Structure 1
């Protein structure tokens, strides 16, 4: 017969949190033995001051370059967007251009996120214009927002919380704030049939020309007519996106041709493979991955160490010599490399 598991425990040796000792007195030595961890010192017990937020001391050029390194798959898209914004563009124009660039590629970033990333990196900026088309200064725009806040402060009773007599209607005001590329619209509806309280906000960074207007609306709740007041902010003129001088400096310093030459020089044993792929992909519509496989995978040059076409395609893509457009296509800079190779061979 197997032993009863209860016989394996010594009940007298078990810890009882309600037992103060055999005589009912507190035993400091016993308490010290069961203490988990050492008691906190005065310095450890004192609340620690919150650490100051880290200050980014990088220049805009450094932030943009680091962003390109952190997102190599979207490098071409970001550089093209900044170059596209040499002349100011609307948000809609930037959206269309971003979608065009992402037509054959995948990205978890939406067009708005691309602009936000580039804005944080200092490569793009959002500017607001007045009625004459002149740019509104940052401090002036900030003053406009502050003026709106002052105008709204007088509406606390109506916009913050309104209790209507004879009904259980409470209206909460929600303040909306958006970045330069988004707008927050806020509406609060009353819980009475046929009753509606409209509240709208179109608050943007630097929305200096948006004039708050006090409006009222009446409705009948079944017993009496109730009038509610709310703030309505006029629509703001859309701003424009423009590349910063720092962003354009990084764009202009890109040297895809030089990077391709460095790649070819670093692996001279594969020079013929690179040239074959570039020339093969000059075909209209590009080439599929399987076609490139059949072109080079059986080459003796790839036997030791064993290489496959993807090794070369990936490197050519990162250097800007190949791009995917439903098929692998040689870019203009890649075609220039073919022309250089043919000219060198003819000498």
Structure 2
């Protein structure tokens, strides 16, 4: 029996020897006028003009401190430290000191970068010259009669506070904030006095709780020692150093509390006599 399906028999060599798959591909448009920009991963994107509003440094600094509220004291400490130019090494040591009792995932480099982006600090040389003005031209050296270009190490980076950073630092007045809180919380002046007094020698939260939580003043509404600790810490009146400890601001605040309580007591006596 013969196979009549001869049309299925293909001579691959004869049928495909002249076949070019590229003949059926339409030519692409000319890309000579295409302009691209390299993305984060190396891919190209069409260049576009994107209008980005310029935010003043003063506003950027305020936004940074608002978003980094838990690091406020450390950031302020950095600003105070770089009122004169400080090397990167010295700044790293200072940040370690500032965060010794307050662990943070933010390193000195992280915090410096954030403050620099906000416009609060800037890079300079040891002499205080803007770092962006430094151009490291390679040196020409001659070896065996042949001249070579030898790279030059860049100068060490120093950090210094900017005008806007200095203005923000000067505007931070923790004692004024503490006074405002005390004037709003006159009912709890004895509680503030007690906490600031006992913490001069350092106290744990448990020890402070024992001195505060059973006081009749905090029963209605029900308040606990951490409520007052938090307020005092935000005013730099207390700091955590393995225990809660009264700071210099806190000692000044304690004098204010006692003065306010004395005035309050005098007013009550006058009212009683009237």
TM-score by length of 2: 0.71
**1:344 Cα deviation after fit:** 4.5
Residue 103 of structure 1 is matched in structure 2 by 100
Question: Residue 86 of structure 2: SS of its match in structure 1?
Answer: coil
Structure 1 position 94 matched with structure 2 position 88 = no
| Cα deviation 1:182-205 (Å, max 9, x = unaligned) | xxxxxxxxxxxxxxxxxxxxxxxx
- The residue aligned with 1:279 is 197
- Write 1 or 2 for the structure with the bigger share of helix: 2
1:209 — aligned with what? 136
1:237 to 2:161 alignment? no
Report what 1:73 is aligned to. 70
Deviations 1:73-131 (A, max 9, x none): 110111111111011000000000000000000211111001001101111000136xx
Alpha-carbon contact 2:123-2:160 (below 8 Å) kept: yes
| Cross-structure match for 1:55 | 53
- Match 1:268 to one of 159, 179, 186: 186
Report what 1:115 is aligned to. Answer: 112
Q: CA separation in 2, counterparts of 1:238 and 1:318?
A: 36
Distance 1:297 1:210, change over 3 A: farther
Q: Distance in 2 between matches of 1:115 and 1:304?
A: 45
**Closer, same or farther in 2 for the Cα pair 1:210/1:92, shift >3 Å?**
farther
Distance 1:266 1:51 in 2: 51
3-state secondary structure, aligned to 1:55: coil
How far apart are the structure 1 equivalents of 2:247 and 2:226?
17
The secondary structure found in structure 1 opposite 2:159 is strand
Matching of residues 190-229 of structure 1 within 5 Å: 208-209=135-136, 211=138
Distance 1:136 1:264 in 2: 44
Question: Conserved in 2, the CA contact under 8 Å of 1:63 and 1:121?
Answer: yes
Q: Which residue of 1 aligns with 2:227?
A: 311
Q: Secondary structure at the match of 2:217?
A: helix
In the other structure, the counterpart of 1:195 is none
**Matches of 1:305 and 1:49, distance apart in 2:** 60
Name the count of aligned residue pairs.
214
Could you tell me which residue of structure 1 aligns to residue 27 of structure 2?
none
Q: Secondary structure at the match of 1:237?
A: coil
